[in-house]
């Protein structure tokens, strides 16, 4: 599983700014891995509270049973890295 710091770094490389939605497909991981990775982090309250999943357009993923196409990560996540 990708470490949280690596995931956040990848998000920052893709996002225009903190909190901007990024397509889950942009992480270029297989669908099952994307779903497992984000579901695992979203389940952890101390980590998941910094993630927001949206259903906008594009490839759909199931994050803990909920449909999502995009993720945004709040800048405050830096406090736990």
Task: State pTM to two decimals.
Answer: 0.94
Place 68 in a pLDDT band, splitting at 50, 70 and 90. very high
Span 4-12, average pLDDT: 97
C-beta of residue 23 within 8 angstroms of C-beta of residue 70 = yes
Query: Which distant-in-sequence residues (6+ apart) come within 8 Å of 12 by Cβ?
Result: 18
Task: Say if residue 69's pLDDT is above 90.
Answer: yes
Task: Say if residue 16's pLDDT is above 90.
Answer: no
pLDDT in tens, 22-62: 999 999 999 999 999 999 999 999 999 999 999 999 999 99
């Amino acid at each position: 599983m990708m470490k949280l710091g690596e995931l956040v770094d990848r998000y920052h490389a893709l996002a225009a700014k903190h909190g901007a939605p990024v397509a889950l497909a942009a992480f270029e991981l297989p669908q099952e891995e994307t779903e497992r990775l984000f579901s695992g982090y979203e389940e952890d309250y101390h980590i998941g509270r910094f993630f927001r999943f949206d259903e906008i357009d594009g490839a759909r993923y199931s994050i803990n049973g909920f449909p999502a196409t995009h993720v945004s990560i709040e800048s405050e996540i830096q406090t736990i890295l």
